Amino acid sequence: MALKKINSILEQLQGRIPQWICGADTVISINRELLGKPRDRGEARVMLEKLQGREHRVSTSVALFNGKNQTTDCRTVESRVCFVSLSEREIEWYINTGEWQGVAGSYKIQGLGGCFISSISGSYSAVVGLPMHEFYIMLVDNGYQYAV
Catalytic residues: 25
d(CA 80, CA 129): 14
Q: Around 31, how many Cα atoms within 13 Å sit in the side-chain half-sphere?
A: 4
CB 105 within 8 A of CB 47: yes
Length of the chain: 148
- Residue 101: is it exposed, middle or buried by C-beta count within 10 angstroms (0-12/13-18/19+)? middle
d(CA 103, CA 101): 6
